[in-house]
Structures are given as structure tokens and as C-alpha cells.
Amino acid sequence: MRVTDRRQFLALAAASAASPLFAAQVDLQLPGGPSLRPLTDAFPGKRQMILQRTSQPLLETPMAVFDKGVLTPNDRFYVRWHWPFPTEIDAAAHRLTIDGHVAKPLQLSLADLKALPHFEITAVNQCSGNSRGHFEPRIAGAQWGHGAMGNARWTGVRLQDVMARAAIKPGALALRFSGLDTPLVDDAPDFAKSLAVDHALDGEVMIAWAMNGEALPILNGFPLRLVVPGWYSTYWVKMLDRIEILDKPDDNYWMAKAYHIPDTPDAGVAPGATNFPRRPISRMVPRAFITSHAAGAKLALAPGIAIGGIAMGGDCGVASVAVSSDGGKNWAPATLGKDNDVYGFRRFDAAMSPPRGPAVLMARVTNTKGVVQPLTGIWNPNGFMRGQVEPTPVTII
Amino acid sequence: MHILSTLLIGLAASVLVAAAPARIELPFSDAMFADFGAGKPSPDAINNNCLACHSTEMVLNQPQQSRAEWQEALIHMRKNYKAPVDVADDAAILDWLVAMQAGRADIKTP
């Protein structure tokens, strides 16, 4: 194509900039592909996010973000929606309805909630299907790399304190949470998740209005979201507007059928298996990621190359992290960072001196319950709960 | 007096800010599934049925899927998400999906 004048040139330049072909891309290194995703600035309040899907938004955090600090900034925090959600919300008019098996049904404003004792916790929010794109054999669904997770300081109130005002009646089994998102089709299942009463009232489960000291972004659930420390994000209901107390098991699709894992000790089954007992996904498993170097990096031969990253204990704290530069044959202890929030990310650092040539960097966390990351992975038909040691192949030159 | 009016203006402004609804404008994808040309499966059925619920990336980012696996996905969306995908269009949708992946250099069986 011959560009004949300045106006045409500018139009062409603009089209090129908007085209994924010319946009900055990230290679998620998913086995068998497709692996390339554009980085996008198109979502308000978010920048340089990996675009997985425009509608409904699926935005992934690039791994390099996790190298900069244990808290994930709000404008880099991943986004995941099943159904459409309101893009304009009047916080002053928002009400949280608490009804069902309670003596005193309530309608609470944000001001009502903020009048209760405030509570803060730092906790990792991780999608059940984080890293699904790395499973082999591959599994259909959102093709996440490792960045469908983030760690934030959550501010709000304990659910325990809110429910004390509603007076749950004897015989209650579970609390069911739902938000302002609504299905595309009338008879499709509204998104709702439930927690057993004892868990919901354990003093850690909370309703947050802020993350990292700022109001929740709309894309992360403004004005209120549930925070369930140690559990997968499917329970962290966004744009929370209703808590229904149930006196019988929750039979809604999102609890009774979706987000189920094999009822085996490690949630794994043989690839391709379909006929096995299942249970709802719940507690997270320990994970560690090298963030100082990307897969495929070329590092100059030197004594004591700095290797670091982030670890999480899952449903408890991090006890220790070991690192390897030879694909797991030899391990050395890493130094843990001072931030020590039980449910948050923990920084680890080490210095290693691999010889010239290919090197496979690995990090392996042991949590405070003594659970060690396995070297080989599980498989299940939904690609949930990946937790094995992740290799980072590099070359020492 | 001057200080008081400044305070009042400041107070009014902060009330206005606090009362303003939070609002964002989401990007919209108008991308369609590609037409591979004469003699190749038409994208009409997949464009008409699938884009009402999600943008193209959800399909284009999937790993290599057999025709039977794509069929399972259609059944899953129809059964569980009540997607209004006409069963009569399944064959045309599957034809396009299989052709799309066969033509991709960036998708292979691991």
C-alpha cells in the first residue's frame, strides 16, 4: 500500500497501533499454543494488562508485576467476570440485603457497614483456574497463564460482626452471597456462592470496600466484595448486594455443579477421566513463582546470580522456600522477605551460580502446615488447583 | 468570613465528589470471526450465535480441540448457560471452528 498524503499516513499509523499485530504482546508459553496475547490499556483504571477476553472481561497480570512488590497494585490486579455487570454504581444508594433464615432481615448501606469495627487483612485472591493454560493435556476454558492472581490489603468489616446484627436462626447451614452481575439470558443461573455458617463467621471472612487503601475498582467489585482468605476467588463475590441465609444445602448451579474438583486428596485424576466423585473447590494450595527472570531469558555467567520471586502458603503461611537451578536435582534455601502476612505473598531471594548452558530455575515452597509443593502436577477436567513446582528455563551465557 | 466561605465551598465540593456515582466505560470489541473465502466454512453461524455472549478471543485463544470437544463446549453453553445457540447451526459452527484451528500456525497438539 502506497501512502500518498499525511492524513492517510496518520490514519494508517492509528490503525496499526490499534491492531493486535502491532500492539505489545506477551508470550504465555502455553504448551501447543496459542500463546500470544496483547497487552491492553483499554480498561479504565487498569494498565498494561494481558487481554484474555474483552467481553466479559478477562484480564491477566503480567508476571513482571509480581517482581516489584508483594502487594499487587490495583491498576495491575487481574479481572474475571462470568456475566455482565453494571458500569455505573451509586455507592450512596447501594444496599446489602441480608435475608433468609435470620431473625432480623437487614438492608445495610455502606455507611451502616463503615460504622462497624473496621478489619484489615492481606490476602491472595487467586482464580480457581489460574494457570489452566499450562495443563497437559490442555483443557478448554479461560486460557490463563500464571497471572490470574493478586495480593492486596483488604479493608472492611468482619462478616461475623455484620451477621451478629441479623441474628441467624438455629438450623442455618450456609450463607449464600450474590452480586450485581446478571446473566445474559433470563433463565441462566445467577452467579452466587455459599459458605458454611462456621466458616463464614470465623472472624477472617470479611466484606471489603477497599483494596490497598483505595476504593475497590469497579472491575474488581466496587462497592463491596467478599474476602475469603485462603480460599479460591470464586467465593470472593464481587459487587456484593445480597447474603441469603440457607437452612438447606445450596442447590444453585455455581455450588452444586460448577467449580467442582475430583474428591481425591490432591484434586487430581487421570487425564481424560470423567466418572469420579466430586466436591466444591475450597482451600488454596501452596505455590511459588520465580519472577526475577522470565522463561527463555539469557543470563550472563556469574557467581551468585540473583534469583527471586513470590510464594504463598495457600490456606496458611509460608514456612520456607527452596530454589534450584538444575531442574530440581539440587536445592538450596532461599531467604524470605520480612512481610509475613499469613495469607499474602511472601518474597523470596537467593543467589545461585549455574554453569554456562541451559539452566532450569525452580522454586519450591513448604507451607506452615508442612505441605510441600509436588514436583509433578495433577490433572482434572476443569484445570483447577494447579500447584506443582513451575520450571523457568533460562540460558547462562 | 473569607475563611468560612472557603471552608463551605470546600465542604460542598467534597459532598459532590462523594455523591458522584462511580462510572467506567468498558471497551467494546466489534471483531467478527474471519471469513476464509469461497469453498471454506462460512463464519455466519458462529458470528450470529456466539458473539451475543462473548467476544471472539474466548474462542480464538482455545488450545487445539477436536470436533467432538468443540461440540461438548456448545452443549455445555446451551445446557448450563442457556446460550440460545440453535442446534440446527451446530454443524456449521463446528465446521468453521475445525477449519479455523487447522489453519493456525500457532496451534498444535502438544
CA A252 – CA A175 distance, rounded (Å): 13
ipTM, two decimals: 0.92
Phi, psi of A172 (to 5 degrees): -70, 140
CA A305 – CA A323 distance, rounded (Å): 12
> A322 vs A216, A308, A317, CA distance in Å?
35, 11, 15
Reported as a pLDDT band with limits 50, 70 and 90, residue B19 is: low
pLDDT tens for residues A337-379? 998 899 999 999 999 999 999 999 999 999 999 999 999 999 9
Is A32 close to B109, i.e. CB distance below 8 A?
A: yes
Q: What is the DSSP string of A60-72?
A: E--HHHHTS-SSP
The closest alpha carbon to A278, from A261, A265, A290, belongs to A261
CA A73 – CA A344 distance, rounded (Å): 14
Residue B11 has pLDDT above 70, yes or no: no
What mean pLDDT, rounded, does chain B reach?
A: 88
**Cis peptide upstream of residue A56 (ω within 30 degrees of 0):** yes
Answer whether 0.90 is exceeded by the pTM.
yes
At residue A194, the pLDDT reads 98
Chain A residues with CB-CB distance to B25 below 8 A: 44, 87
Is B29 close to A55, i.e. CB distance below 8 A?
A: yes
Point out which residues pair with A287 in neighbouring strands.
Answer: A312
B interface test, pick of A27, A35, A53 with most B CB neighbours within 10 Å: A53
pLDDT tens for residues B21-55? 899 999 999 999 999 999 999 999 999 999 999 99
CA A286 – CA A272 distance, rounded (Å): 25
Shortest Cα distance, chain B CAs vs residue A346, angstroms: 32
pLDDT tens for residues A229-274? 999 999 999 999 999 999 999 999 999 999 999 999 999 999 999 8
At residue A20, the pLDDT reads 46
Does A18 reach chain B within 8 Å, measured CB to CB? no
Residue B18 has pLDDT above 70, yes or no: no
CA A123 – CA A107 distance, rounded (Å): 28
Chain B residues with CB-CB distance to A33 below 8 A: 63, 104, 106-108
| Burial class of A132 by CB neighbour count within 10 A (0 to 12, 13 to 18, 19+) | buried
Identify the segments of chain A with pLDDT beneath 50.
1-21
Reduced to 3 states, what is the DSSP secondary structure of residue B45?
Answer: helix
Instruction: Name A311's Cβ contacts closer than 8 Å, sequence gap at least 6.
Output: A286, A287, A288, A289, A318, A321, A345, A346, A348, A363, A365
CA A184 – CA A161 distance, rounded (Å): 34
Over A204-227, what HEC string results? CCEEEEEECCEECCHHHCCCCEEE
At residue B21, the pLDDT reads 85
At residue B15, the pLDDT reads 46
The Cα angle at residue B75 between residues B73 and B77, in degrees rounded to 5: 70
Chain B residues with CB-CB distance to A148 below 8 A: none
CB A335 within 8 A of CB A348: yes
Sign of the four-CA dihedral A30, A35, A39, A40: negative
Chain B residues with CB-CB distance to A31 below 8 A: 110
Instruction: Name B23's Cβ contacts closer than 8 Å, sequence gap at least 6.
Output: A87, A88, A89, A218
> A361 vs A62, A323, A390, CA distance in Å?
19, 7, 9
CA torsion, ordered A206, A237, A279, A139, to nearest 10 deg: -130
Within the 145-184 window of chain A, which residues sit less than 8 Å (CB to CB) from chain B?
183-184
